[in-house]
A and B are shown apart, each in its own frame.
Chain A
Amino acid sequence: MKKILKTLFIAILTLSVVSCDESYLDVNTDPNRPLTVSPDLILPVAQRYSVYSKDIGRRTNTLGNLLMQNWSQADGYSWYQSEFEYVLNTTFYSTVWDYQYLNALKQYHVLDLEIPNYEYYSAISKIMKAYHFQILVDTYGDIPYFEALQRGENTTPVFDNGLLVYEDLIVKLDEAISLISTGASNLEVLAPGIDDTMFSGDMTKWKQLANTIKLRILVRQSDMAGRDAYLSTEFNKIKAEGSGFIAEDVLSNPGYANQANQQSPFWASYGQNTDNEYINNYYATCATPFVINTLTTLGDARIDFIYEEPATGHLGVDQGLSNYPLPNGTLGEANVSNIGDGLLKSAEQSSVVFSLAEAELLQAEAAFKNPSYVDGDAKSHFDKGVAASFDYLGAPDPTAYTSSGTNLADYTASTNKLEAIITQKWIAHNGIDAIQSWFDYNRTGFPSNIPVSLSSPTPDRPVRLFWPASEISGNGANVPLPQPDVFTTKIFWAN
Chain B
Amino acid sequence: MSGRFGLNNLSRQGKQWRDAQPYSTDNHLPEGTAGRPNPVTSFVEDSESQSHQYTVDFIAEGNFNLSEKITLKAILGTSSFTSQFRQSAYRANNLSIAGFYDLSNTTGQLVGGLAGSAFVNQSERKTYGVFGDFAFGYDNFLTLSLTGRNDWTSTLDSNNNRYFYPSAGLSFVFSELIDFEPLDYGKFTVSNATVYNDLGAYQINETYGRQVGFPYSSTGLNGFVVPGTAVSPEVRKEKIATTEFGLNLEFFKRRVTLDAAYYMTKTTDLITTATLAPSTGANSLLTNIGSIKGTGLELSLGLGIIESDGFNWDLNTNFTMNNQIVEEIQPGVTELNLTTGTVASIYAVVDEDFPQVKATSYVRDPQGRVVINPANGNPIVGGLENLGKTTPDYIVGLTNVFSYKGLKLTATLDYRTGHVFYSQLADRMEFTGRSQASVSSNRQDFIFPNSVINTGTVENPVYVANTNIQVTGGRQNFWTNTYNDIKENYIIDGTALKIRELSLSYQLADKAMDKIGVSKLSIGLVARNILTWLPEENRFSDPEFDNSIGVGNAIGIGGYTQAPPTRSFGLNLNIEF
Contact = CB atoms under 8 A, between A and B. Distances in A.
Interface string A315-358: 00000001000000000111000000000000000000000000
Interface in A1-56: 6, 9-10, 13-14, 17-18, 20, 22, 24-37, 41-42, 44-45, 48
B280 A32 contact: no
Interface in B39-69: 58, 60
B482 A87 contact: yes
Interface in B266-317: 275-283, 285, 287
Interface stretch (B138-146, B214-222, B498-506): B214-222
A280 B34 contact: yes
B276 A78 contact: no
Given A257-B218, A457-B376, A155 B124 contact: no
Contacts of B381: 89
B226 interface: yes
A284 B35 CA distance: 11
B476 A107 contact: no
Contacts of B124: 27
Interface residues of A, number: 88
A330 to B, nearest CB: 14
B535 interface: no
21 contacts: A10-B1, A18-B78, A25-B128, A25-B158, A27-B125, A28-B202, A28-B204, A42-B226, A48-B213, A85-B473, A87-B485, A89-B381, A89-B485, A143-B279, A144-B277, A148-B281, A152-B230, A255-B216, A256-B216, A280-B35, A474-B280
A28 B203 CA distance: 9
Interface in B211-250: 211-214, 216-226, 228, 230-232
Contact of B224 (A28, A34, A90, A283): A34
A16 B111 CA distance: 46
A57 to B, nearest CB: 15
Interface in B197-216: 201-202, 204-209, 211-214, 216
A259 interface: yes
A14 B123 CA distance: 28
B472 to A, nearest CB: 8
Interface in A111-129: none
B158 A157 contact: no
A255 B212 CA distance: 14
Interface in B447-497: 473, 476-477, 480-482, 485
B122 interface: yes
B80 interface: yes
B14 interface: no
B221 A152 contact: no
Nearest to B128: A17
Interface string A67-111: 000000000001001100101011100100110011001110110
Interface residues of B, number: 83
B207 A27 contact: no
A195 to B, nearest CB: 7
B37 interface: no
Interface in B2-51: 32, 34-35
Given A32-B118, A85-B477, A473-B337, A6 B224 contact: no
B511 to A, nearest CB: 53
A151 B223 CA distance: 21
A261 B485 CA distance: 31
B281 A101 contact: yes
A28 B156 CA distance: 8
B208 A149 contact: no
B563 interface: no
B177 interface: no
Given A25-B152, A28-B201, A152-B231, A94 B218 contact: no
Given A152-B232, A474-B277, A477-B332, 12 more contacts: A6-B1, A25-B161, A28-B205, A29-B205, A48-B213, A85-B473, A197-B221, A257-B217, A261-B213, A332-B32, A469-B342, A474-B276
Interface string B117-134: 010111111101010000
A105 B130 contact: no
B406 to A, nearest CB: 53
A45 B214 contact: yes
B218 A151 contact: no
A296 interface: no
A194 interface: yes
Nearest to B477: A81
B400 interface: no
Given A105-B281, A151-B281, A151-B282, A91 B342 contact: yes
Contacts of A32: 118, 120-123, 202, 207
A106 B282 contact: yes
B575 interface: no
B122 A31 contact: yes
B512 to A, nearest CB: 54
A473 B275 contact: yes
The 4 A-B pairs with the shortest beta carbon distances in the complex, nearest first, are: A474-B277, A255-B216, A255-B219, A475-B277
A154 interface: yes
Nearest to A158: B279
B161 A457 contact: no
B1 to A, nearest CB: 7
A82 B378 CA distance: 14
Contact of B219 (A6, A41, A254): A254
Nearest to A47: B223
Interface in B520-543: none
A150 interface: yes
A97 B278 contact: yes
Nearest to B205: A30
